[in-house]
Amino acid sequence: MNSIDATIAEKGLMSSEMGSERTLYPYVTGTSVIGIKYKDGILMAADMGGSYGSTLRYKSVERLKPIGKHSLIGASGEISDFQEILRYLDELILYDNMWDDGNSLGPKEVHNYLTRVMYNRRNKFNPLWNSLVLGGVKNGQKYLGTVSMIGVHFEDNHIATGFGNHLARPILRKEWHENLSFEDGVKLLEKCMRVLLYRDRSAVNKLQIAKITEEGVTISQPYSLKTFWGFSAFQNPTKGAEGSW
Amino acid sequence: MDLNLDAPHSMGTTIIGVTYDGGVVLGADSRTSTGMYVANRASDKITQLTDNVYLCRSGSAADSQIVSDYVRYFLQQHTIQLGQPATVKVAANLIRLLSYNNKNMLQTGLIVGGWDKYEGGKIYGVPLGGTILEQPFAIGGSGSSYLYGFFDQAWREGMSKDEAEKLVVKAVSLAIARDGASGGVVRTVIINSEGVTRNFYPGDTLPLWHEELEPQNSLLDTLSLNSPEPMST
């Protein structure tokens, strides 16, 4: 881009200078992300939906991405802003690698970087409209944290964004425990994702589960969950109360 | 009746981009409206960016035109400096940059489609907000609301060029039938290793859908055929 006519580039066509710069509302959005610490590291789950208002417009959006060697990011909210954040992180990791000093940014550092980015944008009334989940393992230390679009950030043993705050957190509070096995961790995440599928209008039945351990990152192939509709009460719910629902 | 002739030109629109085995087919309707008035009934919403990359425009006519003009300019420079044709991905990313960085001011949904020697035929959707998504097929514009179900059922991987074009023409035609903001003719652009082909399908070449009747020149033509019954019901 450096040979592009400088005046045009500076006048703000490729940068965000012109006009009122406050993000008013999101367009293409992803719903909940859930993350948990388990025995060997972090497990994270997110569906692959990109909603456009009430339309479930895109069904193959990857909302879980590896960052460097030690971290995994999951995002809900505006997808274009998430794509921009991935570019920022790409540059961050690139510069980190260019030092070539044997050091690499761990999840704690990446989380801190994201927090600064999100909070500074919030202060300019032009937020990146995302809730991010950042998980990773470095030198045996597990890390799981979150940053919201206004810069609120914290770490915990289990994290949920969006609807997950309301629907997944109670389940995680009850059933999470230290040293979950991989199988139990996946089952716990799937339990949360299934509830979200039943009760979140913007949920889509195509999800990925990602795992990060000291060895590295694995993101599963997309898959769908079975749902249960066999309650007898579902057969004739308005019997005896016609017109109700 | 609300005939606001000063309303901004908006291409209500139906736009489609579909990959097939060997290239891409882009399709669009041709209606540009100013409020309720049809300002242009034969617009061309499929705009050339380079020899091998084209753009389907929807939303504000002004916004989509200016974005495409700038990207065409940037791509011309890029091609000279690179020494070979630009790739579809580069074109799509330039569209994304303008859409994303000016998201507060722009109201245009775009579909970038083309063919390059590295990746073959590719379609990139860039909806409102500046998200970029590479897709086997993309639909956009107000008329696309009526096509989600149609594509869920009719889309297949690995279609031939003719199958893909027929699908696009059928889809745009269905959207025109139900979306007031879409209409006119169906234009398609096919891009592959051999080059670019533009096609034009006026209304009389399109199939008839539910509650639509075969067009005729005048009532008088049917009157003379069924002589004893001038007016029925």
Beta carbons of B131 and A18 less than 8 Å apart:
no
Across the interface, whether the CB atoms of B103 and A83 are under 8 A apart is answered no
Mean pLDDT on A11-16: 47
Does the pLDDT of residue B172 top 50, yes or no?
yes
Of B81, B98, B127, nearest to A13 by CB-CB distance is B98
**What rounded mean pLDDT belongs to chain B?**
92
Selected for mutation to probe chain B from A60, A79, A80 (highest B CB count within 10 Å) is A80
**Domain assignment present for A241:** no
Q: How confident is the model at residue A23 (pLDDT cuts 50, 70, 90)?
A: low
Interface touch A13/B70, C-beta < 8 Å: yes
Can you list the pairs that A95-98 forms with residues at least 24 positions away whose Cβ atoms lie under 8 Å? A96/A68
Would residue A105 count as lying in a domain? yes
Structure confidence by residue, pLDDT tens digits, B184-203: 999 999 999 999 999 999 98
A165 touches chain B (CB under 8 A): no
Residue B120 touches chain A, beta carbons under 8 Å: no
Please, which pLDDT band fits residue B12 given cuts at 50, 70 and 90? Answer: confident
Residue A3: predicted pLDDT: 44
pLDDT-based confidence at residue A48 (cuts at 50, 70, 90): very high
The pTM is what?
A: 0.87
pLDDT score of B65 more than 60: yes
Side chain identity, residue B142:
S
Tokens standing for residue A34 = 């859930």
Average the pLDDT over B204-212 and give the result: 89
N residues, chain A:
245
Helix (H/G/I), strand (E/B), else coil: A55 = strand
- Tell me the nearest-neighbour CA distance from B104 into chain A, angstroms: 7
**pLDDT value at A226 more than 80:** yes
Q: What are phi and psi of A196, to 5 degrees?
A: -65, -35
B76 Cβ under 8 Å from any chain A Cβ:
no
- Beta strands A153-155 and B15-20: pairing type? unpaired
- pLDDT, residue B27, reads 98
Q: CB of A54 within 8 A of CB of A12? A: no
* Residue B131 to residue B124: CA distance in whole angstroms: 10
| Section B108-124 average pLDDT | 98
Is there a domain that residue A23 lies in? no
Residues of chain A with Cβ-Cβ distance to B145 below 8 Å are 55
User: Which sequence positions of A are flagged as catalytic?
Assistant: 23
> Quick check: is A200 in a domain?
yes
Q: Is residue A235 part of a domain?
A: no
Task: Indicate if the alpha-carbon torsion angle B95, B100, B101, B103 is positive or negative.
Answer: positive
Residue B62 has pLDDT above 70, yes or no: yes
- For residue B1, give the DSSP letter: -
Mean of pLDDT values over B106-114: 97
- What would the DSSP string read from start to end of A186-203? HHHHHHHHHHHHHH-TT-
pLDDT for B68 beyond 80: yes
In 3-state terms chain A splits into helix, strand, coil percentages (rounded to 5) of: 30, 30, 40
What pLDDT, on a 0 to 100 scale, did the predictor assign at position B175? 96
Mean residue pLDDT of chain A comes to 91
Closest CA to A36 of A196, A212, A195: A212
Neighbours of A104 (CB within 10 A): 15
Q: Tell me, what CATH number does A140's domain have?
A: 3.60.20.10
CB A112 within 8 A of CB A154: no
Domain assignment present for residue A92? The answer is yes
- The domain tally of chain A equals 1
**Tell me, which fold does domain B9-206 have in CATH?**
Glutamine Phosphoribosylpyrophosphate, subunit 1, domain 1 (3.60.20)
Kindly report the nearest CA distance between residue B170 and chain A, in angstroms: 21
The single-letter code of the amino acid at A98 is M
Domain containing A62: what range?
36-223
State the alpha helices, DSSP H only, in chain B.
61-82, 88-101, 148-154, 161-178, 219-225
Which range among A3-17, A214-228, B29-43 shows the weakest confidence by mean pLDDT? A3-17
Residue at A245 is within a domain: no
pLDDT band at B222 (very low <50, low <70, confident <90, very high): confident
- Range with lowest mean pLDDT among A31-40, A118-127, A231-240: A231-240
**β-bridge mates for residue B222, sequence order:** none
A10 pLDDT tier (thresholds 50, 70, 90):
very low
Antiparallel, parallel or unpaired: β A50-52 and A41-47: unpaired
Put simply, the answer to whether A61 touches B77 (Cβ < 8 Å) is: no
Q: What is the pLDDT of residues A50-64, one digit of tens each?
A: 999 989 999 999 999
Assess whether pLDDT exceeds 70 at residue B225: no
The nearest alpha carbon in chain A to B100 belongs to A80
Distance from CA of B131 to the nearest CA of A (A): 4
